[in-house]
């Protein structure tokens, strides 16, 4: 299911936080943490759209490249497995 975003070039609402983190200069840890948090939260919801799942994982990899010192968190309230 396609979500509405403020930016018509973005397909999913969580991409706004990721884009903000990636274009912010100088990089700010809080912005990166917010982006990583929305990715983790959406992955925990287990989206049924395979394209969104790929986009989420690609976004997480992009954040890890830009912010290599940050360890990804994949925590869900339930004990679900998320393989990155």
Is the pLDDT score of 10 beyond 50?
A: yes
Rounded distance between C-alpha atoms, residue 79 and residue 59, angstroms: 23
CA dist 37 → 8, 75 (Å) = 22, 9
Q: What is the pLDDT of residues 51-78, one digit of tens each?
A: 999 999 999 999 989 888 766 665 675 5
pLDDT band with cut points at 50, 70 and 90 for residue 9: confident
Q: What does the pLDDT read at residue 28?
A: 84
Q: How far apart are the first and last CA of the chain?
A: 22
Q: Which of 63, 76, 10, 6 is nearest to 36 (CA)?
A: 63
State pTM to two decimals.
0.75
In percent, the amount of the chain with pLDDT more than 90 equals 54
Rounded distance between C-alpha atoms, residue 30 and residue 58, angstroms: 20
Domain ranges (residues) in the chain: 15-66
Give the mean pLDDT of the chain.
82
Rounded distance between C-alpha atoms, residue 61 and residue 66, angstroms: 9
């Amino acid at each position: 299911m396609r979500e509405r975003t403020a930016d018509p070039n973005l397909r999913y609402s969580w991409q706004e936080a990721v884009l903000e983190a990636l274009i912010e200069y100088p990089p700010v840890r809080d912005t990166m943490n917010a982006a990583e948090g929305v990715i983790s939260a959406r992955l925990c919801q287990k989206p049924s759209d395979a394209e969104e799942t790929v986009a989420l994982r690609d976004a997480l990899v992009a954040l890890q490249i830009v912010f290599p010192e940050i360890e990804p968190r994949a925590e869900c309230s339930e004990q679900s497995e998320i393989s990155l």
